[in-house]
Amino acid sequence: MIPSAFDYRRASSLDEAISMLAEGGEDAKLLAGGHSLLPLMKLRLASPSVLIDIGGVRDLSYVRDAGDHIAVGALTRHLDVHESEVLRSEVPVLAHVAGQIGDPQVRHRGTIGGSLAHGDPASDLPAVCLALRATFVLRGPGGERQVPAADFFTGFLETALARDEVLTEIRFPKMREAGWSFQKFGLRAQDWAIVGVVAVRNGHTGVALVNMADTPVLASAVEAAVAGGASAAEAAEHASDGLDPPHDVRSSREYRRHLAQVLVRRALEESGV
């Protein structure tokens, strides 16, 4: 399909992008790599009146060692996240998952910030952020604020980003020698996961789920069970506690609950629980 008509503007700096957002009003949208927003526009599930292209704001593309954490600029491409030697050393689960996203075309164009700001519960990167307890840095006309990953995803394709704010950076705790695992089950290579799991042992056990609710979500009951001394198998029995998995053409709710238990157990065992 063809998107609705819109005005196109190109920002050359972060400040200019924030100013354009304020001028554009509620129907203005940011465009980074385009792999999340443009498909919605083609289906007319999103119809922004103004599209603000921030793909050229190179100051937001970086991976930096910031002492106790690794800072990743929101416009860093998936391929650069995957190939970053700093991330492979300090946050290997993030580098690994970025390499599993879509196909080479998507990884060359899509950005980590664009994926996270989209807030899709079927996306893999939000689960990494949740499991690691990452922090999101947002900037708007009122200045900068930080939002924990657990507070960022607020509803289906909705986040804590205000309409005049830009996600500028994601901060990941260093994993050092922590155990981790990424488990994903789909019908075909490069498909969205029917269910996915990220588990990290990094001072705490973080477990997050892909496509098990209407938002990216922590498996809080699993984390609590592990903290209480449960084995991987025992903790995995709580994988879907309190969750209402989606029912669609690819899977029933019951199948997703079953898959979540299987994959959580595998993830916990591989990460060292």
Residue 266 corresponds to which amino acid?
A: R
Residue 1 pLDDT = 67
The reply to whether 214 and 227 lie within a common domain is yes
Please state the rounded mean pLDDT for residues 77-83. Answer: 97
The per-residue pLDDT for range 9-66, each reduced to its tens digit, is: 999 999 999 999 988 888 888 888 776 777 777 777 677 788 899 988 989 999 999 9
Sign of CA dihedral 132, 57, 81, 43: positive
Q: Which domain holds residue 226?
A: 179-271
Task: List the CATH number of the domain containing 47.
Answer: 3.30.43.10
The number of distinct structural domains making up the chain is 3
Q: What is the pLDDT of residues 100-132, one digit of tens each?
A: 998 888 899 899 999 999 999 999 999 999 999
> Do 166 and 65 sit in the same domain of this protein?
yes
**pTM of the entire predicted model:** 0.94
Question: How do residues 150-176 score in pLDDT, each as one tens digit?
Answer: 999 999 999 999 999 999 999 999 997
Q: Is residue 1 part of a domain?
A: no
144 and 236 together in one domain: no
Residues 119 and 136: beta-carbon distance below 8 Å: no
* Cα-Cα-Cα-Cα dihedral sign, residues 155, 239, 170, 61: negative
Query: Averaged over 84-90, what is the pLDDT?
Result: 97
User: Of 53, 62, 73, which Cα lies nearest the Cα of 12?
Assistant: 53
**pLDDT tens profile 201-254:** 988 899 999 999 999 999 999 999 999 999 999 999 999 999 999 999 889 999
Asked whether residue 43 is domain-assigned, the answer is yes
Whether 183 has a pLDDT exceeding 80, the answer reads yes
Residue 58, C-beta contacts closer than 8 angstroms, at least 6 positions apart: 75
8-state DSSP, 248: B
**How many other C-beta atoms can be found within 10 angstroms of the C-beta atom of residue 23?**
12
- Statement to judge: residues 86 and 151 lie in one domain: yes
What is the 3 state secondary structure string of 118-172? Answer: HCCCCCCHHHHHHHHCCEEEEEECCEEEEEEHHHHEEECCEECCCCCCEEEEEEE
> Which residue in the block uniquely carries the two structure tokens 């205000």?
162
